[in-house]
């Protein structure tokens, strides 16, 4: 059984990848780290993502070790610059 997650890319990451959203199928028990590895493993342009990006899972900052569930929303968060 695969775990579909919705990934979001913002700002500089969106510009680098040329896309803002992507559905990814992960293996059961996959973590954020696995998602990042899966994406970077696809090569250009996904290898432009950092190895250890800041991410939010379901709109909360999360560690690379965070396990992912079906339907989770995982956002890649470039360094923030509000204000």
Write out the residues near other proteins by the rule CB under 8 A: 8, 10-12, 15, 54, 56, 59-64, 75, 77-83
Closest contact distance (angstroms) between CB of 47 and other proteins is 19
Rounding to the nearest 10 degrees, give the CA dihedral for residues 31, 42, 18, 16: 80
CB-nearer residue toward other proteins: 15 or 25: 15
Closest contact distance (angstroms) between CB of 52 and other proteins is 9
d(CA 71, CA 53): 20
Closest contact distance (angstroms) between CB of 43 and other proteins is 23
CB-nearer residue toward other proteins: 27 or 63: 63
Burial annotation 65-75 (CB, 10 A radius, 16+ → b, else e): ebebeeebebb
The burial class, CB within 10 Å (0-12 / 13-18 / 19+), for 80 is exposed
CB-nearer residue toward other proteins: 18 or 83: 83
């Amino acid at each position: 059984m695969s775990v579909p997650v919705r990934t979001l890319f913002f700002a500089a990451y969106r510009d680098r990848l040329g896309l803002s959203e992507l559905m990814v199928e992960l293996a059961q028990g996959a973590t954020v780290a696995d998602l990042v590895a899966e994406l970077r493993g696809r090569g250009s342009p996904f290898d432009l993502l950092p190895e250890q990006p800041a991410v939010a899972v379901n709109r909360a900052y999360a560690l690379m070790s965070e396990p992912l569930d079906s339907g989770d929303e995982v956002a890649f968060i470039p360094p923030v610059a509000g204000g």
